[in-house]
């Protein structure tokens, strides 16, 4: 009786080329459509790369296709977050790590500026109080 390991398997190319099962190209098309929506409707989008089944080399291929732009940002809040503009303005890569340095999120955000770097209303209110206190140490209450 023939066993599974005895069965010959041959991989063939289609039209003389190897099949590309990478998810990088479909993601690039999704980015293109999101950029078009951003320009036309002002609507941003986020692509959660950790929810996409990447094969070997897919992430590296996508990062290569996206390239690096002129802006990079580093945040330190419950771990390190690195944010950088890709070679395509409006397309940002956001890489979040926890305090132990483990990746907890990898996202592409299509927006004029990533939401994570926008100052929150509560933080602005706190800044007003602190700045007012610094500039007017003898005053009571904020202006």
3-class DSSP assignment, residue 71 = coil
Q: Quick one: 24-112 is in which CATH superfamily? A: HupH hydrogenase expression protein, C-terminal domain (3.30.1370.140)
**Per-residue pLDDT at 16 exceeds 50:** no
First to last CA, the chain: 89
* Phi-psi label, residue 108: left if phi above 0, alpha if psi -120 to 50, beta otherwise: beta
Q: What is the pTM for the complete model shown? A: 0.76
- In the chain, what are the domain boundaries? 24-112, 115-143
Q: What is the pLDDT of residue 13?
A: 46
pLDDT tens string 31-83: 999 999 999 999 999 999 999 988 889 999 999 999 999 999 999 988 999 99
Grade residue 18 by pLDDT with cuts at 50, 70 and 90: very low
Residue among 112, 105, 129 at smallest CA distance from 51: 105
Instruction: Give residue 7's pLDDT.
Output: 64
Three-state SS for 106?
A: strand
Do residues 97 and 81 lie in contact, with contact meaning Cβ atoms separated by under 8 Å? yes
């Amino acid at each position: 009786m023939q066993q599974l390991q005895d069965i010959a398997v041959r991989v063939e190319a289609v039209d003389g080329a190897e099949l590309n099962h990478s998810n990088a190209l479909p993601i690039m098309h999704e980015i293109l459509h999101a950029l078009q929506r951003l320009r036309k409707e002002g609507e941003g989008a986020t692509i959660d790369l950790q929810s996409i089944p990447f094969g070997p080399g897919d992430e590296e291929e996508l990062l290569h296709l996206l390239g690096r732009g002129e802006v990079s940002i580093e945040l330190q809040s419950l771990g390190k977050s690195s944010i950088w503009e890709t070679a395509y303005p409006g397309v940002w890569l956001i890489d979040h790590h926890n305090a132990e340095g483990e990746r907890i999120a990898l996202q592409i955000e299509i927006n004029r500026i990533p939401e994570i770097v926008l100052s929150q209303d509560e933080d602005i209110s706190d800044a007003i109080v602190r700045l007012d206190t610094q500039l007017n140490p003898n005053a009571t209450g904020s202006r």
